[in-house]
Structure 1
Amino acid sequence: MIQFVGTTLLGTFPTMTYRHFLKSLFEAGYTVVSFPFRFTLDHWSVALDLLEEHYAVRGAMIEAAVAKGYDPGVYLDVTNYTWIGHGLGCKYVTLLEVLSSPMEVLEKHFQILGQDLATQNRQIRQLQTGLAALQNNLRSLEQRILQLTGQTVDYGQPSIMDEASLLLAPVVTDLNGAIPVKFLERFFGRRITIYPTVEQTHQLIEHSQLFHLTGLLQFARDRIAADTCQQLMQEQPHIRRRLLKGNHSEVVGLQLGQCVVDMNPLDKFIQPLTHRDLESKSLTFLQRLRHQPASVSRQSNCRASDRRSIAA
C-alpha cells in the first residue's frame, strides 16, 4: 500500500497531475491511495488528518478483502504500508514521522523550539487532543479487525512506525506553501505564522530518533528543493539519498502514447518513456527501504548521540 501526498497546487488533483507516476506504482503491484493537497495555515492539522485517513484506509482495505474472500493478511501488516511525498507534501510526511514518537518525548522536543510558552502549550494541547482521538479510533479498528478476521492485532499508539517513506524533492516551507500567490504571501507574511514554522520543523526532525526507514530522491537540476535536501541530510544523516537526473517537477506528468508530458514548457515538456527511469528507480529504492530490518525503526529510546553511529 502506497499513500501519496503531492505538493502545492499540483497535489490538489494528484490523480491527474501525477497520473503516470501513480499508474506506474499501481502496475508494479501496489495499492495506491493519493491524498489531495490541502491549503492551510496549520500543518499539524494536516498531519493528524493524514494519520486518521491512513487508519480509515487500512480498515476499508481489510473489509474489502474479507468481503471478496481474499486473505486480508497483507493489509494487517504495518510494514506493507509506505508513504511517498513530493515537494511540500514531504513536510507533512516528515511531521507524521515526528508524531510517531511518544507524547512525552514530543513534549520535551517542544521545549527546545524557542517559542513562547503559550504557543508551545497550544501546539502540545492540539497534538494531545488529536492523538487521543486517533487512539480511540485505533482501538475501534482493532476490535473491528477481530470481528472480521478473528485475528487479534495491537497497533499501539497512532504512528507510522515501521512504515517506509520516500521523499521526492522535499521542500520544508510555511507561508508560501499555504498561500502560493507571491503578493498575498508578502502582504500576510508579517501578520501570519504557520505552525510548525520552517525552523521548528527542522529542529523537530533533528531531535527525532526515528527516520530510520526514510529515503530521499533529489534531482540534479532542482533548485527549489536543494536547500531542504542538504539540511535534511545534515539533521538525519542516516536518511538514504539518491541523486537522479531531472528537475523539481520530474515526478509530474501524463502519459500520451509512448511519451510523458510533464506540463512544464520551460523544461523538456515531453519525454519518451524509453528515456524515463524515475518510476523504476523509485520502486527499487522503495523496495530497499521496506526490507530494512524493522527493529531498527523501533530504537526510539536510543540517545541522540547514538543515531550517528547507527547510521554509520
Structure 2
Amino acid sequence: MMTFKPLCHSWVALHPEPKGIVQFIGGAFFGSFPTIAYRYLLEQIFEAGYSVIALPFRFSFRHWSLAIELLKEQETLRPELIALAKHLNYDHTVYEDKTNYSWIGHSLGCKYIALLELLSDRQLTGMDAKQIREIEQAIARFSIYSVSIKGQPSLLLAPDISDTESAIPIRALAQLLDKLKLGVLPTRAQTQDLIEQSQLFNLTGLISFDRDTIAGSVTQPSAKNDVLWFLTQLKQRRYSLLHQELSGKHLEPVGIRLGRWIVDFNPLDKFAELISDRPLETVVIQFLDRLQQRQQNIVQTAPTESEEYAIVSTLDRRY
C-alpha cells in the first residue's frame, strides 16, 4: 500500500522492491498538493513497482530557477532515500544510480522537465545575457555532471509551455511585463527554439487528450497547440517520440479513487468516471516501461561519469 512520507521538500513513497523511481511534478494549483490531486495516478505507478517522489508545484515567473530547484531536490533526496530504504530494510541500491530515475510532468510541470533536459544539452544559445547569468548563478553550486538529467526518461502529460499571457489573462499587462523583462522566462518561443536546436529528448513520451483546450491535441489544432508542436519537433530524433492521444480534457490526470469511481475535482468536466473506463494509468505504465528499455539501450553506449567530465568541452551530443 502506498504511503507518502515528507522528505526534504517532497513527498516520498518507497516501494519495497522498486524497479525504478518516478519523480512527479504537476501543473499549477493542483500540483501544489500532488499526493491528493493526483492520488490515483500515483497509486497506480506505485503498484506497478515504482517508488514515487511527488514534488509540490511552486509558482514563479523564473522557470529556469524552478527547474534547477527540482534538480537540487533530486541531489538532496538521493542520500536520504538510500538511508530511508536501509531503515525500512528495502532494496537501497536502486537509488544510487541516477539512470534509475524517471520524470513525469503534467501541464506546466512538463516545461520544467523540458528545461532540465535542455540544461543537459549544454547549449543555450538565443537567450539574453541576463538569463544566462541567472542560470549560471543557480547552478554555481553544482558540478558539471550533476546539472543534467541525461539518461533519465521523461513522460509529458498534456504539456503546456506557458508564458506570461498564460499566467496573466490581461494581455496588455502581460505584454508590459514582458517588455520590462519581468514576465515569464524563458518565454514559450525561447523554449521552443532551444528544443528545436537540441539533439536530446530521445527518452521522451507524450500523452495528450482529445478535448484539451490548454495544451492542445491532435484533433484540435490551434496557434498555441503545444502537443502538435512537440509531435512535429520530436518525431525526427534518434528515437521517435512515444505518443498516444486519449479521450479527455486537460485535467484528466487529476483524480482520487472512491470505490469503483475516479473523482477529478472538476465539476465542469465529467466530475467522476468508472475506473474500468479510464485507460490513462495503463498507458502511463506502458510508456514508463518502454522508456526504461530505451534508456537501458542508450546507457550501454553512453560515457561514464569520468568520461563525461573529460568530453564536456566538446559538447558530445550522441544521445
Q: Deviations over 1:29-66 (max 9, x none)?
A: 21111111111110011011000001112121112233
**3-state SS in 1 of match to 2:156:** strand
What is the aligned length? 270
Match of 2:164 in 1: 175
Q: Which amino acid aligns with 1:232?
A: F
**3-state SS in 2 of match to 1:7:** coil
Taking the TM superposition and a 5 Å limit, the aligned residue runs for 1:249-288 are 249-288=251-290
With a CA cutoff of 8 Å and minimum separation of 6, indicate the structure with the bigger relative contact order: 1
Mark the CA change 1:217 to 1:125 in structure 2 (over 3 Å): closer, same or farther: same
Say which of 133, 143, 165 aligns to 2:141.
Answer: 133
How far apart, in 2, do the equivalents of 1:60 and 1:275 lie? 38
Q: Which amino acid aligns with 1:301?
A: D
Match of 1:233 in 2: 231
Structure 1 position 68, deviation (Å):
4.2
Match of 2:5 in 1: none
Match of 1:216 in 2: 206
Structure 1 position 67, deviation (Å):
3.7
**3-state SS in 1 of match to 2:202:** coil
Mark the CA change 1:19 to 1:71 in structure 2 (over 3 Å): closer, same or farther: closer
For the aligned residue pairs, the C-alpha RMSD in angstroms reads: 2.2
Structure 1 position 95, deviation (Å):
0.4
2:31 is the counterpart of 1:11: yes
Query: Does 234-243 or 281-290 show the bigger shift?
Result: 234-243
Say which of 116, 124, 134 aligns to 2:132.
Answer: 124
Taking the TM superposition and a 5 Å limit, the aligned residue runs for 1:1-312 are 1-102=21-122, 106=123, 109-110=124-125, 112-113=126-127, 120-135=128-143, 156-179=145-168, 182-183=169-170, 186-191=172-177, 192-226=182-216, 227-237=225-235, 238-292=240-294, 293-295=297-299, 298=302, 301-302=316-317
Mark the CA change 1:68 to 1:263 in structure 2 (over 3 Å): closer, same or farther: closer
**3-state SS in 1 of match to 2:23:** strand
Structure 1 position 177, deviation (Å):
5.0
Contact preservation (8 Å) 1:5, 1:36 = yes
Contact preservation (8 Å) 1:210, 1:297 = no
How far apart, in 1, do the equivalents of 2:58 and 2:166 lie? 10
How far apart, in 2, do the equivalents of 1:58 and 1:101 lie? 23
Structure 1 position 176, deviation (Å):
4.6
Structure 1 position 298, deviation (Å):
4.8
Contact preservation (8 Å) 2:200, 2:317 = no
How far apart, in 2, do the equivalents of 1:82 and 1:38 lie? 20
TM-score by length of 1: 0.80
How far apart, in 2, do the equivalents of 1:39 and 1:177 lie? 13
Structure 1 position 188, deviation (Å):
4.2
Mark the CA change 1:18 to 1:231 in structure 2 (over 3 Å): closer, same or farther: same
Mark the CA change 1:297 to 1:231 in structure 2 (over 3 Å): closer, same or farther: farther
How far apart, in 1, do the equivalents of 2:273 and 2:89 lie? 42
Structure 1 position 135, deviation (Å):
2.1
How far apart, in 2, do the equivalents of 1:204 and 1:88 lie? 17
Q: Which amino acid aligns with 1:203?
A: D
Structure 1 position 2, deviation (Å):
0.8
Query: Does 187-196 or 274-283 show the bigger shift?
Result: 187-196
Q: Which amino acid aligns with 1:234?
A: T
Mark the CA change 1:8 to 1:56 in structure 2 (over 3 Å): closer, same or farther: same
Contact preservation (8 Å) 2:160, 2:215 = yes
Q: Deviations over 1:76-133 (max 9, x none)?
A: 122210000000110001001001123xxx2xx32x35xxxxxx22221222222231
Contact preservation (8 Å) 2:242, 2:287 = no
How far apart, in 2, do the equivalents of 1:29 and 1:8 lie? 27
Mark the CA change 1:250 to 1:68 in structure 2 (over 3 Å): closer, same or farther: closer
**3-state SS in 2 of match to 1:124:** helix
Mark the CA change 1:70 to 1:302 in structure 2 (over 3 Å): closer, same or farther: closer
Q: Which amino acid aligns with 2:316?
A: N
How far apart, in 1, do the equivalents of 2:165 and 2:60 lie? 11
How far apart, in 2, do the equivalents of 1:43 and 1:296 lie? 32
Match of 1:143 in 2: none
